[in-house]
Amino acid sequence: MITSGYSKIAFDEGARILVVDDDPVVLDLLQGFVSSFGHECVRAADGLAALEAMANQPFDIVITDMVMPGMDGMELLREIRTRYPETDVIVVTGHPATFSFTDVIRAGAVDFIVKPFLKDELEAKINRVLRERFIIRQLEQLSMRDPLTNLENRRAFDIRIRDEVVRAHRQKYPLFLAMIDVDRFKSFNDTLGHPAGDRLLQEVADIMSTCVRRKVDLVFRYGGDEFAIIFPHIDREQAEAVGRRLLRCFGERPRDERDQTGLSIGIAQFVRREGRSLDEDIEDCISRADKALYAAKQGGRDQLRMDPVC
């Protein structure tokens, strides 16, 4: 699940917070406090209503009472941990002898407040959670980005291709995958040196980012001198046209006479097949794009091959 925003540290609009309590007076108090901190606040009168609200929209934080009819706070906490692991939970209770700090932290809460509480205490705890969420998000983004080319890396590819094929299958639009390799890159490195090789990879990344549709197509450094592009909402002829544009732009760039590099490109369409898992179909698509890439290499390099499966 993708959350709507992580904190005012990162986004001016603040976070989205769900407050849960069976006492309307406490709900009014929590909602008033949270709104005064600059966050969007939604309220629920019990655990079941909270889960219904969470099914309709994502939340950054849930602030919940523990003793409630139908579904108590501990059961709600366990459900959130299972269904919405990216949502943080702060527990508020007037029964600290029944629910200890250790109990709720072990169950998955990030913090614990005892009633009655002060506005400043609540604000401080929310700010701490949001600060930690923002730091975690920054670290996640760094872990999924290639520092040399500033493209997303293989780890990001593995996550995003699954998200994209799920969306494409659900909304019934075509999706293509291009696997791209820099021809004779090792020879280039041996001749002109590794700094020149790094600059070439950066140039390839820039060309790809320029040739694809901004904020639609997804470009990755797959590893070494290999790259990948995910093309959603595109047909076979359009995918092939983008591949040929990549070849042309790479071939037209200024280059040292010793630079004999080119691009080999293989493109395949994602196909969902009955009786196979989603992961098997993703692996099949990657394999077919790889085979098309290999065919381009075998055919003389610096060319594009389309996988025949439609």
**Domain chopping of the chain, boundaries:** 16-139, 154-306
Buried b (16+ CB within 10 A) or exposed e, 104-115: beebbbbbbbee
Reply yes or no: is the peptide bond before residue 116 cis, omega within 30 of 0. yes
Four-way CATH pick for 16-139: 3.40.630.30, 3.40.50.2300, 3.40.50.920, 3.40.50.300: 3.40.50.2300
Catalytic residue among 21, 88, 217, 225: 225
Confidence at residue 141, expressed as pLDDT on a 0 to 100 scale: 77
Contact 63, 94 (CB under 8 A): no
Confidence of residue 310 (pLDDT cuts 50, 70, 90): low
- Structure tokens, 285: 């698509």
Q: What is the reported pLDDT for 133?
A: 87
pLDDT digits (tens, 9 = 90+) for 170-223: 999 999 999 999 999 999 999 999 999 999 999 999 999 999 998 899 999 999
Let me know if 225 is a catalytic residue: yes
**CATH H superfamily, domain 154-306:** Reverse transcriptase/Diguanylate cyclase domain (3.30.70.270)
- Looking at every residue in the chain, the average pLDDT score rounds to 90
pLDDT digits (tens, 9 = 90+) for 242-264: 999 999 999 999 998 899 999 99
**Residues written for the chain:** 310
CA distances from 252 to 22, 229, 258 (A): 68, 21, 15
Amino acid at 162: R
For strands 175-183 and 262-269, give the pairing: antiparallel
Please choose, from the candidates 126, 129, 68, the residue with its C-alpha nearest in 3D space to the C-alpha of residue 93.
68
- Number of alpha carbons in the 13 Å side-chain half-sphere of residue 161: 28
Flag whether pLDDT at 8 surpasses 80: no
* Interatomic CA distance for residues 96 and 98, integer angstroms: 5
Least confident stretch, 52-66, 107-121, 150-164, 165-179? 107-121
**30: amino acid identity, one letter:** L
**Residue 116 and residue 107: Cα distance in Å, rounded?**
23
Contacts of 31 (CB under 8 A, 6+ apart): 19, 41, 43
Q: For 123-167, write each residue's pLDDT tens digit.
A: 999 999 999 988 888 887 778 999 999 999 999 999 999 999 999
State both tokens at 134: 């923002």
